[in-house]
């Protein structure tokens, strides 16, 4: 079941909705009002991807990709093809015949990669028999290629043709990636971040590991682009603080692979702090 908040729609009838809704023991108070509940999935929904101004896609552990109308909540198309849970999903917009086309790329535990047309619902491309499941995807719009990360880092073109790859022997594999300037990529592998460089020579592309950043003490779960000079990584280390909340480190790195200078390495993300009827987040220096 997927819950989606739609703006600009007034509540039905004259019943006044409470600002705090009781939704189970794990989330006793919710400061947002549910406008619609979209039903269609049979298991946990893990990914939401915007397609355009009117549509988005959802995917998760049931192996289904559902296309929705964001204004009406209508279920438009169901994409079937994966036999196990979906492990990554991303949109890919490219120019063909002078027009912009947006497709969806999905990865699954069944060790396949698929390219979908969200207009027709057809699976346009499919790659099977991968060495290991893909855990993350990244589109490099400027280079018109996309990357898949798992036990291998692979570079593909829009036609699903493999351009190059590099193999890693870590059991955890690559779990997250973010694009950096000058054709560099930051990839999270267990407790460290590996900086890769894409080398272009004509139509040929090669990928090479340039630097290893090992500042985290636990598995890195996310990487995000902050601005043109910074990216941030987040890991999962939990311990009790005053019996009320937990701390989970965030590292803020410069996006210059030539220097691995760390900025504000003592930043921590503290969560579990409540104020009124809303869960609050705060960054502690």
> Read out DSSP for 179-227?
EETTTEEEEEETTEEEEEEEEEETTEEEEEEEEEE---SS-EEEEEEEE
| Model confidence band, residue 113 (pLDDT cutoffs 50, 70, 90) | very high
Which CATH entry fits the domain spanning 135-285: 3.40.50.850, 3.40.50.1000, 2.130.10.10, 3.40.630.30?
2.130.10.10
What rounded mean pLDDT belongs to the chain? Answer: 76
Please check the confidence at residue 70 and state whether its pLDDT lies above 70: yes
Listed in sequence order, the residues at least 6 apart from 54 whose beta carbon sits closer than 8 Å to its beta carbon are 69, 70, 71
* Residue pLDDT, tens place only, 215-269: 788 888 888 888 877 888 888 764 333 333 344 555 556 555 554 443 333 333 3
Pairing label, strands 113-116, 162-167: unpaired
Q: How far apart are CA 114 and CA 101, in angstroms?
A: 16
Q: Output the pTM of the full model.
A: 0.73
| Model confidence band, residue 135 (pLDDT cutoffs 50, 70, 90) | very high
Domain boundaries, the chain: 135-285
Nearest to 199 by CA among 135, 257, 136: 257
Residue 204: how many CB atoms within 10 A of its CB? Answer: 9
| Between residues 136 and 285, the one the model is more confident about | 136
Highest mean pLDDT among 29-38, 116-125, 198-207: 116-125
């Amino acid at each position: 079941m997927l819950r989606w908040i739609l703006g600009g729609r007034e509540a039905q009838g004259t019943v006044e909705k409470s600002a705090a809704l009781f939704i189970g023991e794990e989330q006793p108070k919710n400061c947002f009002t549910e406008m619609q509940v979209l039903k269609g999935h049979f298991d946990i929904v893990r990914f939401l991807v915007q397609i355009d101004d009117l549509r988005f896609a959802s995917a998760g552990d049931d192996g289904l990709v559902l296309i929705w109308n964001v204004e009406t909540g209508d279920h438009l198309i169901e994409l079937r093809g994966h036999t196990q849970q979906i492990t990554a999903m991303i949109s890919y917009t490219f120019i063909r015949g002078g027009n912009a086309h947006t497709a969806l790329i999905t990865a699954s535990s069944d060790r396949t990669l698929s390219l979908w047309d969200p207009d027709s619902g057809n699976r346009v491309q499919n790659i099977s028999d991968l060495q290991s499941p893909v855990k993350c995807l990244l589109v490099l719009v400027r280079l018109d290629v996309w990357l898949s990360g798992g036990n291998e880092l692979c570079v593909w073109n829009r036609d699903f043709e493999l351009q190059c790859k590099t193999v890693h022997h870590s059991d955890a594999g690559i779990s997250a990636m973010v694009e950096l300037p000058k054709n560099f990529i930051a990839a999270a592998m267990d407790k460290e971040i590996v900086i890769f460089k894409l080398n272009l020579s004509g139509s040929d592309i090669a990928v090479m590991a340039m630097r290893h950043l090992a500042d985290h003490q636990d598995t890195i779960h996310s990487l995000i682009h902050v601005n043109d000079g910074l990216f941030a990584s987040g890991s999962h280390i939990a311990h009790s603080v005053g019996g009320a909340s937990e701390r989970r480190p965030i590292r803020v790195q410069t996006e210059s692979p030539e220097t691995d200078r760390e900025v504000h390495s003592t930043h921590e993300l503290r969560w579990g702090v409540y104020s009124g009827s809303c869960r609050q987040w705060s960054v502690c220096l």
